[in-house]
Structure 1
């Protein structure tokens, strides 16, 4: 598994532990949404930078090929080289961080 995915999985686990002791259910759901959003942006960056043969900013150079391999099964054939754009609602959520 790529370094990017491992980083976000570990971060989400830590956030979840802290949130259980600190936040309301609504706040925990918001944190979860932010974590998933960052992960999807990271995957989008990996796809784009791999397409242009450059190093991804969210994984180390030696693991970038592994990270793209883990993404292959998740892609649907109709959108293989064009990931979905970020919706305005998602973009506004991210600006509230």
Structure 2
């Protein structure tokens, strides 16, 4: 996330180390919250759009929503792992 969210790292690098850690943790929590809401929306799409298709792909919408939910689940898992590593490295 440090290399991907340039705006976050630009401002966080200017903070003292303890505040930088807290700011990165807050950014991770916001990413987790957004990903959780996307997963919730994808499940709502799966339950309501069983027989509709994307016109450009011809695939059922529920398949695309399931792929989106799987991708966001991977984002959540990667952020949790990264947060655990950061917390472990922050402790003395």
Which TM bucket (shorter chain)? 0.3 to 0.5
* TM-score, with length taken from structure 2: 0.46
* TM-score, with length taken from structure 1: 0.44
Higher relative contact order (CA 8 A, sep 6+): 1
